[in-house]
Amino acid sequence: MEANQFKDFAKEMIDYVSGYLENIRDRRVLPTVEPGYLRPLIPATAPQKPDKWEDVMADIERVIMPGVTHWHSPRFHAYFPTANSYPAIVADILSGAIACIGFSWIASPACTELEVVMLDWLGKMIGLPEDFLACSGGKGGGVIQGTASEATLVALLGAKARMIDRVKKEKPEMSDSEIVAKLVAYTSAQSHSSVERAGLLGGVKMRGLQPDDNNRLRGETLEVAIKEDREAGLIPFYVVATLGTTSSCTFDNLEELGPVCNSNNIWLHVDAAYAGSSFICPEFRYLMKGIDRADSFNFNPHKWLLVNFDCSTMWLKDPSWLVNAFNVDPLYLKHEQQGAAPDYRHWQIPLGRRFRALKLWFVLRLYGIENLQAFIRKHVELAHYFESLVRGDERFEITEEVVLGLVCFRLKASNEINEALLKRLNGRGVIHLVPSKIRDVYFLRLAICSRFTEKADIDISWKEVKEAADEVLKK
Ligand code: PLP
């Protein structure tokens, strides 16, 4: 493809993209296709001679759109939001053009340096303590990971390296494998599945502890578990606390967990994948109280801060535990300025990394903090609006305090009836929700996801819920 053709193709795509997003409300949120729908729609082999780009464009509606779940529809209320904004899309075009692999400073200095500064900007925006920020001049700093799952695993690996180092100083006779066999990590039984997975991938025990009646992991529960495990000869080394759980957007008690971790030399990682974006609003920062005690903190601007996937920001007070623990330094990756700026390949699992800081830079500049705050506040208001509609219908109950943009609710009826309600709702295809279950109580989760969502959309979603409930209860 030549530059002239590229310009025409790209212009047409931009028109298509804005048309798609601005009219997304008119599409059915969940597709109706069956598994295997796509293969018969395209040839069995790649073309020998190039296709025309006009034909590729035409195939988007024919082949792709019938199988798309429209995550940015105002009627999409499943999981948590995933971000989407025009500045981030444009930044990705530029990132695609530069197409560098920024594993070290010299591999593309702007890629590393913009990331360092953006993590400082964002850290300041959410009120992170200074010692997490590179601009403080201390050890701390931030990095963009692909996902929160990677951040949890990377922090676990850092914690593991730190504890092995500590134990070896005290007991030089112990081998690495003897120490690793005794390591134990903790999290709430309600933390995201990626935390359990980090334990599996990291080859260590991960205990899921019971949260309290309000679904918050408490300091005392952690303390008891640590004591038990120490008595059994194990070595506690890592805790993952969640701010905004996936099931119900609940907040572990950081103010209690932090001191327990600090006094036991345990690495505390805080997973605020969804809720973290809300901390740009001062009124929600009470939810991160106690963050000063953490060793690492992560949230996903690609969830709720209008930066398209992938952009998972992570800060560490002392990244040297990662950088030094996994430092393999072949000649072809060395450069003369090593040590003068971060070489992010040491902070992550893969070697390669995209120029993701561009998306953050464009979004932060082109929205400005005020508009981003307004966006978060609007979602929280819409959640409270939906909550008020649910509370106004005595057939329903709210099962968890609505703090941010998630409403957990159910019919005051059996799990089976609520399962039938969800099945009917998703089957009607106008709105899309997913359920969760806590202590055997099944409930529906309605998350405010799209940046296009207005009050009128919430009215439509509520009408859908009410009608589906009428049908289910009649049956
Ligand atoms: N942690 C929490 C609290 C989440 O809600 C999620 C996803 O929704 C994750 C972690 C996993 O996020 P990612 O897909 O970025 O790994």
Ligand 1 pocket list (CB less than 6 A) = 80, 147-149, 192, 194, 242, 244-246, 271, 273-274, 300, 312
In this prediction, residues 315-341 reach a mean pLDDT of 83
With CA atoms as reference, report the closest residue to 273 among 435, 74, 79: 79
Tokens of 36: 């295997």
Span 101-354 CATH architecture: 3-Layer(aba) Sandwich (3.40)
Atom nearest to 312 CA in ligand 1: 15
- Rg, the chain, Cα only: 24
Structure tokens at 444: 């529906």
CA of 42 to the centre of ligand 1 (A): 34
Find the helix or strand (DSSP H, E) in which 33 lies. Answer: none
Atom of ligand 1 nearest to the CA of 80: 8
- Kindly report the average pLDDT of the chain as a whole number: 95
CA of 195 to the centre of ligand 1 (A): 9
Of ligand 1's listed atoms, the one at least distance from the Cα of 275 is 3
Is 322's pLDDT higher than 80?
yes
List, in sequence order, every residue forming a beta bridge with 355; answer none if it has no partner.
none
Determine the atom of ligand 1 nearest the C-alpha atom of 244.
3
* Cα 264 to ligand 1 centroid, rounded to whole Å: 27
| In the predicted structure, residue 324 carries a pLDDT above the cut 90 | no
What is the chain's length? 475
Can you tell me the distance from the alpha carbon of 37 to that of 95, in angstroms, rounded to the nearest whole number? 33
Beta-strand relationship, 434-438 and 441-447:
antiparallel
The pLDDT score that the predictor gives to residue 170 is 93
Give 171-192 pLDDT, tens digit per residue.
Answer: 999 999 999 999 999 999 999 9
Residue among 82, 246, 309 to mutate when testing ligand 1 (max atoms within 8 A of CB): 246
Q: Please count the CA atoms within 13 angstroms of the CA of 140 that sit on its side-chain side.
A: 20
The model's pLDDT over 204-239, given as tens digits with 9 standing for 90+, comes to 999 999 999 999 999 999 999 999 999 999 999 999
* Non-local CB neighbours of 198 within 8 Å, separated by 6+ positions: 149, 152, 153, 156, 206, 240
- In this structure, what token pair is assigned to residue 379? 């979602």
Rounded to the nearest angstrom, the distance between the alpha carbon of 367 and the centre of ligand 1 is 25
Contact 80, 406 (CB under 8 A): yes
Q: Which of 194, 299, 356 to mutate to test the pocket of ligand 1 (most atoms within 8 A of CB)?
A: 194
Evaluate whether 70 touches 84 at the Cβ level (below 8 Å). Answer: no
Distance 114 CA to ligand 1 centre (A): 25
Write the residue with the smallest CA distance to atom 5 of ligand 1.
246
Which ipTM was obtained for this model?
0.97
| Model pLDDT for residues 107-121, shown as the tens digit of each residue | 899 999 999 999 999
Compute, in angstroms, the gap from residue 300 CA to the centroid of ligand 1. 8
What does the alpha-carbon distance between residue 311 and residue 113 come to, in Å, rounded to a whole number?
16
Report the Cα 159 to chain-centroid distance in Å: 21
Classify each residue of 55-71 as buried b or exposed e, where b means 16 or more C-beta atoms within 10 Å of its C-beta.
Answer: eeeeeeeeeeeeeeebb
Name the token pair of 403.
Answer: 């703090």
What pLDDT shows up at residue 102? 86
State in Å: Cα 149 to ligand 1 middle.
Answer: 6
3-state secondary structure of 411: strand
Residue to mutate, 154, 192, 349, ligand 1, most ligand atoms under 8 Å from C-beta: 192
Residue-wise pLDDT for 66-120, tens only, equals 999 999 999 999 999 999 999 999 999 999 999 998 888 888 999 999 999 999 9
> How far apart are the CA of 277 and the centre of ligand 1, in A?
13
8 A C-beta contact, residue 280 and residue 125: yes
Cis peptide, bond prior to residue 440, ω within 30 of zero: no
Measured from the Cα of 146, ligand 1's closest atom is 15
Residue from 300, 314, 449 to probe ligand 1 pocket by mutation (most atoms less than 8 Å from CB): 300
Copy the structure tokens of residue 398: 């709210």
Per-residue model confidence as pLDDT tens digits over 2-11: 999 999 999 9
Is the model more confident about 94 or about 339? Answer: 94
Concatenating the DSSP letter of every residue in 233-262 gives T-EEEEEEEEBS-TTT--B--HHHHHHHHH
| Nearest atom in ligand 1 to 245's CA | 3
CA dist 23 and 72 (Å) reads: 10
Residue nearest atom 14 of ligand 1, based on CA coordinates: 147
| HEC profile of 79-96 | CCCCCCCHHHHHHHHHHH
Question: For ligand 1, what atom is nearest to the CA of residue 151?
Answer: 16
148 CA to middle of ligand 1, Å? Answer: 5
CA distance 9 to 6: 5
Distance 241 CA to ligand 1 centre (A): 13
Q: 144 CA to middle of ligand 1, Å? A: 15
Q: Which atom of ligand 1 lies closest to the CA of 272?
A: 3
What's the pTM value of the predicted model, to 2 decimals? 0.95
The conformation of residue 76, written as its DSSP 8-state character, comes to B
Give 366-420 pLDDT, tens digit per residue.
999 999 999 999 999 999 999 999 999 999 999 999 999 999 999 999 999 999 9
Q: Measure 246 CA to ligand 1 centroid, in angstroms.
A: 7
